[in-house]
Amino acid sequence: MVRFLLGVVAGILIILLFIYFGGGEAVKKVGEGLTETGKRMEHLEEVIKKERDEVGKDIKKKILKEEKEVPKKGQ
Protein backbone atom coordinates (compact mmCIF):
# COMPACT_ATOMS: atom_id res chain seq x y z
CA MET A 1 0.00 0.00 0.00
CA VAL A 2 2.87 2.35 0.82
CA ARG A 3 4.49 1.69 -2.58
CA PHE A 4 1.21 2.47 -4.30
CA LEU A 5 0.87 5.79 -2.50
CA LEU A 6 4.50 6.67 -3.27
CA GLY A 7 3.81 5.90 -6.95
CA VAL A 8 0.76 8.16 -6.97
CA VAL A 9 2.66 10.99 -5.29
CA ALA A 10 5.59 10.59 -7.68
CA GLY A 11 3.20 10.64 -10.67
CA ILE A 12 1.54 13.81 -9.44
CA LEU A 13 4.94 15.48 -8.92
CA ILE A 14 6.06 14.51 -12.42
CA ILE A 15 2.88 15.94 -13.94
CA LEU A 16 3.21 19.19 -11.97
CA LEU A 17 6.87 19.59 -12.95
CA PHE A 18 6.01 18.87 -16.57
CA ILE A 19 3.34 21.57 -16.57
CA TYR A 20 5.51 24.04 -14.63
CA PHE A 21 8.47 23.76 -17.01
CA GLY A 22 6.44 24.35 -20.18
CA GLY A 23 4.86 21.01 -20.89
CA GLY A 24 2.43 22.45 -23.39
CA GLU A 25 5.18 23.86 -25.57
CA ALA A 26 7.13 20.61 -25.42
CA VAL A 27 4.09 18.60 -26.47
CA LYS A 28 3.41 21.06 -29.29
CA LYS A 29 6.99 20.76 -30.60
CA VAL A 30 6.88 16.99 -30.41
CA GLY A 31 3.51 16.96 -32.18
CA GLU A 32 4.79 19.14 -35.01
CA GLY A 33 7.83 16.91 -35.42
CA LEU A 34 5.66 13.81 -35.51
CA THR A 35 3.36 15.38 -38.10
CA GLU A 36 6.30 16.11 -40.40
CA THR A 37 7.69 12.62 -39.85
CA GLY A 38 4.28 11.14 -40.69
CA LYS A 39 4.13 13.07 -43.96
CA ARG A 40 7.59 11.84 -44.91
CA MET A 41 6.64 8.26 -44.09
CA GLU A 42 3.50 8.48 -46.24
CA HIS A 43 5.59 9.73 -49.16
CA LEU A 44 8.09 6.90 -48.71
CA GLU A 45 5.27 4.34 -48.55
CA GLU A 46 3.87 5.61 -51.86
CA VAL A 47 7.29 5.40 -53.52
CA ILE A 48 7.87 1.88 -52.17
CA LYS A 49 4.43 0.70 -53.33
CA LYS A 50 5.02 2.08 -56.84
CA GLU A 51 8.41 0.40 -57.09
CA ARG A 52 7.01 -2.86 -55.71
CA ASP A 53 4.25 -2.85 -58.32
CA GLU A 54 6.70 -2.10 -61.14
CA VAL A 55 9.06 -4.86 -60.04
CA GLY A 56 6.13 -7.27 -59.78
CA LYS A 57 5.06 -6.46 -63.32
CA ASP A 58 8.61 -6.94 -64.61
CA ILE A 59 8.89 -10.30 -62.87
CA LYS A 60 5.55 -11.45 -64.31
CA LYS A 61 6.67 -10.41 -67.80
CA LYS A 62 9.93 -12.34 -67.43
CA ILE A 63 8.14 -15.44 -66.14
CA LEU A 64 5.61 -15.36 -68.97
CA LYS A 65 8.40 -14.80 -71.49
CA GLU A 66 10.34 -17.79 -70.15
CA GLU A 67 7.24 -19.99 -70.25
CA LYS A 68 6.70 -19.10 -73.92
CA GLU A 69 10.33 -19.80 -74.80
CA VAL A 70 10.46 -23.26 -73.17
CA PRO A 71 9.80 -25.81 -75.93
CA LYS A 72 7.18 -28.40 -75.17
CA LYS A 73 8.54 -31.90 -74.87
CA GLY A 74 7.03 -34.60 -77.03
CA GLN A 75 5.95 -37.99 -75.74
For the stretch 26-54, pLDDT in tens is 778 878 888 889 999 999 999 999 999 99
Find the domain containing 46 and state its range. 25-63
Top pLDDT among 61 and 53 is at: 53
Strands of 1-75, DSSP E: none
Distance CA 64, CA 69 (A): 9
What pTM does this model have? 0.49
Distance of alpha carbon 52 from alpha carbon 44, whole angstroms: 12
> Is residue 7 domain-resident?
no
* CA dist., res. 61 & res. 71, Å (int): 18
Mean residue pLDDT of the chain comes to 85
pLDDT at 71: 62
In a domain, 18, yes or no: no
In this prediction, residue 4 carries a pLDDT of 94
Residue 2 lies in a domain: no
Mean pLDDT to the nearest integer, 65-74: 67
In sequence order, what are the residues at sequence separation of 6 or more whose Cβ sits closer than 8 angstroms to the Cβ of residue 26?
A: 18
